[in-house]
Amino acid sequence: MHLLTEYIATLAPDLRAWRRDFHRYAESGWQEFRTAAKVADVLDGLGYELAVGRDVVDADSRMGLPDAQTLAAAYQRARQQGAPERWLPAFEGGFTGIVATLRTGRPGPTLGFRVDMDALDLEEDREESHRPFREGFASCNGGMMHACGHDGHTAIGLGLATALMHYRDRLCGTVRLIFQPAEEGTRGARAMVAAGALDGLDYFTAIHLGTGVPAGTAVCGADNFMATSKFDARFTGVAAHAGGNPEEGRNALLAAAQAALGLHAIAPHSAGASRVNVGVMQAGSGRNIVPSSALLKVETRGETEAVNQYVYDRAQAVIQGAAAMYGVGVEVQMMGAATACSPSPAWVARLQTLAAQVPGITEAIATVDAPAGSEDATLMMARVQAGGGQASYMIFGTELAAGHHHEKFDFDEATLSAAVETLTRIALSAGEP
């Protein structure tokens, strides 16, 4: 397929331009209004059948949704930053998902590919040593930065969409391209699963750039993502004068502090690795006031779904016990979730065979023995597998300027072409035995 390689090379300028545009206008989860509108505009221009907004994002299944004021401000910002007006209304209110479908009219399987679009809540570095700043595409949106490669993922999705239309006469079956919002915090996949965006897929592949994998290596069955539950615990007590009548107060801060210590004392489980972390504690308003409110932002993780459920259940018991100890109320709100990663072996082997044929990929391996966080594409994988399909998660190794979620994060843009060619080969081979 040397002609495919030559064709993908012609897309390199577009891939870089898309990536840098999305990087400059970084948008956090559920606020990807400009990004989604730009993506929809490109896909529509290519001739895809589009389903957007509420058609592919279930309102009640969204987690970690910003408040209405934040969403409205982000929507207006997207308009001011050149979002195609035609598409914006469909995404208003935080419904920033897109599914693009290509029906070939020829018998064959239904393939799905997923890329994510959201940025992190992080202030980007502003030094000359940081290439995005030096070359003029650092984020112009304060406190938002593509520091995990999702700008590259979105560009790969558009490159794949372009290549598939170019080769549509050689395709069979149906291809579904899924552009997901709010992956950070594992917030967005559940809503797209609930909306049916993954239903009916025979094969499904999600992707990521980097994650510490060496340049030239394609991991075709990453299986080291942990199941996770992310939640906020809000304690509500009674304020009182700390000197005059402290006995009349109910101290929410102390309840939260007791809970934080108890959470980090949860025993490990013999069935696999586990994690628990209290990342934020906010409480109190003055030194002479018994605090009437407190907030904990917590996450649990487990090597398996069962281990994570064990940690989560123990965490809820700890939180309720701390609230009871101090006579305060507590409300827990889910903010994100993902399951463990279990790629389908036959599909992983197929991906290895195809990735090994791509120039620039020197090694195509099944998995990698390295620590990982969590990834809500696992919910999509599980849905496909529950329906009888096969699913996997691919990582394209690349050189990184700094680690993920770092203010100096950047990657080698040459990796975009290798990823697009790999995914195109997967789609083109769908009808082969």
Domain spans in the chain, listed from the N-terminal domain onward: 1-225+341-429, 228-337
**Phi, psi (deg, nearest 5) at residue 174:** -135, 140
Is 184 annotated as belonging to a binding site?
A: yes
CB-neighbour burial class of residue 281 (10 A; exposed 0-12, middle 13-18, buried 19+): middle
325-335 pLDDT tens trace: 999 999 999 99
Domain 1-225+341-429 -> CATH class: alpha beta
Is 208 annotated as belonging to a binding site?
A: yes
What pLDDT sits at residue 231? 98
The enclosing H or E element of 69 equals helix 68-80
What pLDDT sits at residue 344? 97
What pLDDT sits at residue 433? 58
CB neighbour burial string for 298-314, b if at least 16 within 10 angstroms, e if fewer: bbbbbbbbebbebbbeb
Q: Choose the CATH number for 228-337 among 2.60.40.10, 3.40.50.2000, 3.30.70.360, 3.50.50.60.
A: 3.30.70.360
pTM given for the model: 0.95
149-195 pLDDT tens trace: 999 999 999 999 999 999 999 999 999 999 999 999 999 999 999 99
Which residues is 278 bridged to in the sheet? 298
Is 241 annotated as belonging to a binding site?
A: no
- Give 101's contacts (C-beta < 8 A, 6+ positions apart): 48, 49, 50, 51, 174, 175, 176, 177
Is 405 annotated as belonging to a binding site?
A: yes
Helices (H) and strands (E) in the chain, counts: 12, 12
355-413 pLDDT tens trace: 999 999 999 999 987 666 899 999 999 999 999 999 999 999 999 999 999 999 999 99
Q: Is the pLDDT of residue 432 over 80?
A: no
Per-residue pLDDT band for 294 (boundaries 50, 70, 90) equals very high
The enclosing H or E element of 163 equals helix 150-166
53-109 pLDDT tens trace: 999 999 999 999 999 999 999 999 999 999 999 999 999 999 999 999 999 999 999
